[in-house]
Amino acid sequence: MNVGRARWAVTAVFLVNGCLVSSYLARIPSIKVEHHLSESELGIVLTLFGAAALVSMQFVGGVVARTGSGRLIRLALVLLPILLAAVGQARGIVQLGIAVALMGLVHGAVDVAMNAHAVAVERLRGRPIMSGCHAAWSVSAVLASLVSAAVTRAGVDIGTQFVVVGAVLLIAGQLATRGLLPPSADQARGEKRSPWSGGWTRPVLIFGAMGFVVMIGEAAVISWSGVLLHESRGAGLATAGLAFTAFTACQTAGRLIGDRLTERYGADVLFRGCALVAVIGLTVVVAVPLWPAAIAGFALLGLGGSVLLPLIFSAVGRVGGVEAATAVSRLTTFTYAGILIGPAVVGWVAAAVGLVWTFTGLLPLLLGVAAKSRLLAGRSPKEHVSASTLTSAER
């Protein structure tokens, strides 16, 4: 098996999946207008996507163990473009809800499968790749947002956009998946598989709690950073949006170099150092009452937080052993729950104590995550093949 080719293939899968999902997310305001949805109706539609994804995540680990993550990824990257087009062509809230729910189901499955595949590539390659994969997803989100903004200004309706985007990414997805590893790379062989409800081990629960905190923080920045700058730091509306821009740009930059830093310093050292950088950034945000300082603080928060989630995914893959896919599916449940409920939780707390104090409350949580960095020590185990036997082309 060509592990070097698989590394770039799974990275491309992250990029294609990110483009598909982000294209949908970027046009949510247009969907609301086109279908004349109220806030509560839109909330139901958005909840259907997230809830369906969470449900499918509970079953994917067992499927990957039996059939391999590559097969599931290939199927998902056929279905997702079709479902994206179906969302664009939906007529009425019932059709829209069904299409969005089905898209959420498939997205939840491919989210687990592509992370499990990246874990398998890391194990066989003997070198980290997870940060680069997550960087590809970050880049795809930016690309999809820019394209969606451009076509919206040009007056292109969502139906046309989603059909065209779906067709392009259907082809791109099939090209990307050609280099994925065979099923044997991540199938559970010679071991007793846990039932679909298994996998909730103590290490997975600890890593899941860490991932949940990281994603709560990211959700807070995505949804509330601009509000904090505008209402608490005196920034204008146009300037307030720079907080999220700075966060995203630095997060992407950090992920692009994260794998090299992991190799050089080790996962535990890098995790601890980056978590502390994130803490410093958040401290600047809440302690300095000037909007330029807050933007700089969000940039540091993005840079420091950039590698935390990829490193947690890699660590869960290691502790999961032969059932790495099941462990990854459990972790994904935590992280997805964090990004889903994070904005609402921040809003509820902010209504009681104020937004600045709410962000301040994230500091001890981030410090707690940093304190668990020792759990990430150790290198990925290698199954079936030793990294020392790989040819230079395969690396």
What average pLDDT does the segment 291-314 reach?
95
The pLDDT confidence band at residue 324, using thresholds 50, 70 and 90, is confident
Would you say residue 310 lies in a domain? yes
**HEC sequence for the chain:** CCHHHHHHHHHHHHHHHHHHHHHHHHCHHHHHHHCCCCHHHHHHHHHHHHHHHHHHHHHHHHHHHHHCHHHHHHHHHHHHHHHHHHHHHCCCHHHHHHHHHHHHHHHHHHHHHHHHHHHHHHHHHCCCCHHHHHHHHHHHHHHHHHHHHHHHHCCCCHHHHHHHHHHHHHHHHHHHHHHCCCHHHCCCCCCCCCCCCCCCCHHHHHHHHHHHHHHHHHHHHHHHHHHHHHHHCCCCHHHHCHHHHHHHHHHHHHHHHHHHHHHHHCHHHHHHHHHHHHHHHHHHHHHCCCHHHHHHHHHHHHHHHCCHHHHHHHHHHHHHHHHHHHHHHHHHHHHHHHHHHHHHHHHHHHHHHCHHHHHHCHHHHHHHHHHCHHHHCCCCCCCCCCHHHCCCCCC
Q: Using one digit for the tens of pLDDT, what is the confidence trace for 139-188? A: 998 888 888 888 888 889 999 999 999 999 999 999 999 999 988 776 54
pLDDT of 383 > 70? The answer is no
Q: pLDDT class for 317, splitting at 50, 70, 90?
A: confident
- The answer to whether residues 259 and 157 belong to one domain is no
Residue 1: what pLDDT? 66
Q: Cα–Cα–Cα angle for 349, 352, 357, nearest 5°?
A: 65
Residue 20 domain-assigned (yes or no): yes
pLDDT band at 384, cuts 50/70/90? very low
Residues 286 and 356 in one domain: yes
Distance from chain centroid for Cα 191: 30
How many of the other CB atoms lie within 10 Å of CB of 169? 23
pTM value is 0.84
pLDDT surpasses 80 at 296: yes
Same domain for 303 and 222: yes
27 pLDDT tier (thresholds 50, 70, 90): confident
Domain membership of residue 391 (yes or no) is: no
> Which residue is listed with tokens 């993005």?
302
Residue ending a domain, among 133, 164, 179, is 179
Task: Please compute the mean of the pLDDT values over residues 370-375 and round it to a whole number.
Answer: 91
Question: Do 246 and 330 share a domain, yes or no?
Answer: yes
User: Is 322 inside a domain boundary?
Assistant: yes
154 and 91 within one domain? yes
Question: Domain with 147 in it: what CATH number?
Answer: 1.20.1250.20
Rounded mean pLDDT, 109-117: 92
Task: For residue 370, give its domain range.
Answer: 202-376
Do 157 and 246 sit in the same domain of this protein?
Answer: no
Same domain, 78 and 22: yes
Is the same domain home to 237 and 123? no
At 386, is the pLDDT very low, low, confident or very high (cuts 50, 70, 90)? Answer: very low
Task: Report the distance separating Cα 295 and Cα 301, nearest Å.
Answer: 10
Q: What average pLDDT does range 257-278 have in this prediction?
A: 94
The total domain count for the chain is: 2
- Per-residue pLDDT of 192-236, as tens digits, reads 455 545 567 888 899 999 999 999 999 899 888 888 998 899 888
Mean pLDDT of 59-77: 87
Residues in the chain, overall count: 395
Lookup result for tokens 């809003």:
347
- pLDDT reading at 62 higher than 70: yes
**Is 382 inside any structural domain?**
no
**294 in a structural domain:** yes
Residue 150 lies in a domain: yes
Q: Within this chain, do residues 154 and 216 fall inside the same structural domain, yes or no?
A: no
Same domain, 57 and 151: yes
Same domain, 124 and 11: yes
Q: Are residues 359 and 245 in the same domain?
A: yes
Structure tokens at 53: 């994804």
Question: What percent of the chain shows pLDDT beyond 70?
Answer: 91
Residue 335: inside a domain: yes
